[in-house]
């Protein structure tokens, strides 16, 4: 059943009439209530609409999924009051030009957090990947330069991932150092350890990790 409506009062009436097992709200920032004069997506609107949805769905034992927009930084757009009100917060992450998606639990009132599930987008929808390590290192050549396999713990799930690094001489006085998929501050610490303990002089090089 699909309802193309953003008025929360109409949505509540349909929920009471249909009494479904599952309700999906997409997205919470577009919903509004006539009882409030604030614009849709504001703090007061999101708080009131979320409270109404939670009240009616919990009374009837209906599982509810509320979808929220994210910013370019990957955080939920608008007021963060939404994260504090719900029981579970899940982030669906993925690169634009790749078919793989990671579902990450960042909040869970009834279980552990920081757990992830990896999926692949196919014709039939999202399909679970039972062995993500095999996918992440499947295209790796035998012993390539500038590459290594490291074990990473995501929650209680160990994963093997490939870490790549590239250095080249810099034409500037201060080298440019960038990182993709790795925290820059952590990268700076690793470089400092290599220079101090392994006598690897890369302060005049630029590198990507």
> Is 106 inside any structural domain?
no
Beta partners for 91?
A: 104
Of 51, 86, 121, the residue that ends a domain is: 86
> Is 163 inside any structural domain?
yes
* Separation of alpha carbons 15 and 5, rounded Å: 12
Of 86, 102, 120, the residue that ends a domain is: 86
pLDDT at 18: 93
Kindly give the residue spans of alpha helices, DSSP state H, lying in 19-104: 43-60, 81-85
Q: Identify whether residues 150 and 78 lie together within a single domain.
A: no
Which range of residues forms the domain containing residue 160?
Answer: 135-208
Q: Identify whether residues 146 and 76 lie together within a single domain.
A: no
pLDDT at 205: 56
Length of the chain: 209
Percentage, residues of the chain above pLDDT 90? 23
> Is 128 inside any structural domain?
no
Residue with tokens 């925290």: 183
* Separation of alpha carbons 25 and 100, rounded Å: 24
Give pLDDT tens digits for 21-32: 999 998 888 888
> Is 21 inside any structural domain?
yes
Residue 65 pLDDT > 90, yes or no? yes
Give pLDDT tens digits for 141-181: 777 788 888 888 877 788 888 888 888 777 777 777 888 87
Q: Identify whether residues 76 and 146 lie together within a single domain.
A: no
> Is 98 inside any structural domain?
no
> Is 160 inside any structural domain?
yes
Q: Identify whether residues 75 and 142 lie together within a single domain.
A: no
Give me the number of domains the chain comprises. 2
> Is 103 inside any structural domain?
no
Q: Of all helices (H) and strands (E), which one includes residue 207?
A: strand 205-208
Calculate the CA 59 to chain-centre distance: 30
Of 63, 86, 109, the residue that ends a domain is: 86
Give pLDDT tens digits for 52-62: 999 999 999 99
Q: Identify whether residues 74 and 8 lie together within a single domain.
A: yes
> Is 130 inside any structural domain?
no
């Amino acid at each position: 059943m699909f309802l193309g409506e953003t008025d929360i009062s109409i949505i509540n009436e349909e929920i009471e009439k249909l009494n479904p097992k599952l309700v999906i709200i997409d997205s919470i920032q577009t919903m509004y209530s006539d009882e409030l004069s604030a614009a849709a997506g504001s703090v007061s609107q999101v708080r009131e609409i979320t409270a109404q949805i939670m009240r009616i769905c919990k009374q009837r034992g209906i599982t509810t999924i509320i979808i929220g927009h994210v910013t370019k930084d990957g955080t939920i757009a608008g007021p963060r009051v939404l994260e504090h009100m719900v029981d579970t917060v899940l982030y669906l992450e993925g690169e634009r030009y790749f078919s793989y998606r990671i579902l990450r639990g960042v909040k869970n009132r009834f279980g552990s957090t920081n757990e992830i599930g990896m999926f692949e987008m196919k014709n039939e929808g999202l399909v679970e990947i039972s062995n993500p390590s095999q996918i992440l290192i499947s295209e790796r050549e035998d012993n390539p330069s500038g590459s290594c396999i490291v074990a990473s713990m995501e929650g209680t799930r160990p994963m093997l991932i490939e870490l790549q690094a590239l250095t080249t001489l810099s034409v500037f006085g201060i080298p440019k150092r960038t990182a993709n998929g790795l925290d820059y501050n952590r990268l700076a610490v690793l470089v400092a350890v290599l220079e101090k303990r392994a006598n690897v002089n890369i302060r005049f090089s630029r590198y990507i990790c």
